[in-house]
Amino acid sequence: MDMELGAVQERFADIVWAHEPIASGDLVKLCQEQLHWKKPTTYTVLRKLCEKGLLQNVDGVVSSLISREDFYSSKSEKIVEDSFQGSLPAFIAAFISRKELTAQEADEIQKMIDAFKKEG
């Protein structure tokens, strides 16, 4: 999946994910409150994200075709591929060099690694 979205489109998708399924009229109201958009802007962005296959608008009810988790997982994979030549260890090293892990975060990561080793 190659789902390139701008920051504004991601914020819009996050609104849909948080409220789906949502009537398109209610989505217009939320976008007016949260993004200060007029109705045509909401419908233009909605149409673009429907064309990309991320969202759908069926009989005035908007919902996602791709879960928030799947979208952000794919986006993370693309960052690792594009910026770290596919090396997850290089990505993690770069990430923790700028942000110190808490003991709890380190434990959670270790549990993931241990579970992966048991499965593999």
Structure tokens at 85: 């030549």
pLDDT (0 to 100) of residue 51 = 94
CA geometry: angle 82, 109, 72, nearest 5 deg = 40
pTM assigned to the model: 0.74
Angstrom distance (rounded) from CA 37 to CA 29: 9
Predicted pLDDT at 3: 66
- For residues 27 and 62, the answer to whether their CB atoms sit within 8 Å is yes
Residue 90 parent element (H or E): helix 88-98
pLDDT at 1: 45
Token look-up 């986006």 returns: 75
Give me the tens of pLDDT residue by residue for the chain, a chain 120 residues long. Answer: 456 788 899 999 999 999 999 999 999 999 999 999 999 999 999 999 999 999 999 999 999 999 999 999 988 898 899 999 999 899 888 888 888 889 999 899 899 999 989 886
As its CATH architecture, domain 7-68 has Orthogonal Bundle (1.10)
Q: Residue 72 is which amino acid?
A: Y
> Coil, strand or helix: which one is 35?
helix
pLDDT at 67: 95
Give domain limits for the chain.
7-68, 87-120
Joined tokens for residue 45:
């962005």
